[in-house]
């Protein structure tokens, strides 16, 4: 693997998850120094990742991690936001607001907080790149047969946030882009076996995506190969959104 990301420092939020773990592996393979940020699963992170506990919904926790990463090293720390939760078992008309708030806290508030604080540090320390994991569910499709209006809304907000920050920060040296996966072979999706047939029938490639394919898209957007990508939302969905 070429060292496109040699000498880069990159923080991955949600690093203990299926997609987050694959992103860490890919970034290590491309020569980056990788910090894996998560609330749990720190002991499961692969060798070579510096595991750091962080609650992305808590301002103090996020600020503390940013301060720690720059304490003895002023080189920029780019960011990947890969944490997320989904709720697709509750109909919209009976959705409890505490469940709505929980999804939004992770999928939107957390992404905003980490973008804000890591972005501010990048602006101060010479620029860098941010990649948010959005979803095809945010703009391209309304998923069926599951009911996930809250999740879809949260991911649409991530897409809008990505575009807004790209415009606001681009001239100041910070690139902000997104990767929007379709149905990917993760433990979370593996639980929804009753839906797999319909999902696959609607995917032209006829299979689930692999976490490594999402990770490759992230690595591209972080690298200088994507130097003219700003506000880009890269769909990795096997063609699902075309049908």
**Residues paired with 4 in a beta bridge:** none
Backbone Cα Rg of the chain: 17
Please count the residues of the chain: 243
Known catalytic membership, residue 183: no
| Residue in 151, 183, 220, 240 annotated catalytic | 151
Q: 239 — alpha (psi -120 to 50), left (phi > 0) or beta?
A: left
155 by DSSP, 3-state: which? Answer: helix
User: How many separate helices (H) and strands (E) can be counted in the chain?
Assistant: 8, 7
Task: Please state the separation of Cα 157 from the chain's center in Å.
Answer: 13
Please identify every residue annotated as catalytic: 151
């Amino acid at each position: 693997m070429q060292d496109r990301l040699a000498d880069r420092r990159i923080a991955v939020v949600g690093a203990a998850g299926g997609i987050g773990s694959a992103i860490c592996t890919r970034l290590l393979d491309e020569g980056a120094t990788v910090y894996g940020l998560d609330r749990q699963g720190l002991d499961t992170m692969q060798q070579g990742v510096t595991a750091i506990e962080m609650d992305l919904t808590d301002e103090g926790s996020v600020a503390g991690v940013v301060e720690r990463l720059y304490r003895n090293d002023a080189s920029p720390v780019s960011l990947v936001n890969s944490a997320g939760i989904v709720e697709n078992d509750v109909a919209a008309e009976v959705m409890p607001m505490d469940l709505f708030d929980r999804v939004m806290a992770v999928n939107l508030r957390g992404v905003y907080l980490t973008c804000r604080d890591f972005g501010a540090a990048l602006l101060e320390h010479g620029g860098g790149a941010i990649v948010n994991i959005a979803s095809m569910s945010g703009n391209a499709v309304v998923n069926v047969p599951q009911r996930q209006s809250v999740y879809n809304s949260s991911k649409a907000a991530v897409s809008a946030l990505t575009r807004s920050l790209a415009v606001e920060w681009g001239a100041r040296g910070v690139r902000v882009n997104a990767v929007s996966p379709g149905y990917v072979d993760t433990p979370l999706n593996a639980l929804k076996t009753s839906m797999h047939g319909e999902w696959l029938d609607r995917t032209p490639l006829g299979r689930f995506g692999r976490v490594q394919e999402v990770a490759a898209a992230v690595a591209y957007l972080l690298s200088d190969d994507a130097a003219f990508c700003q506000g880009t939302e890269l769909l990795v969905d096997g063609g699902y959104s075309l049908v």
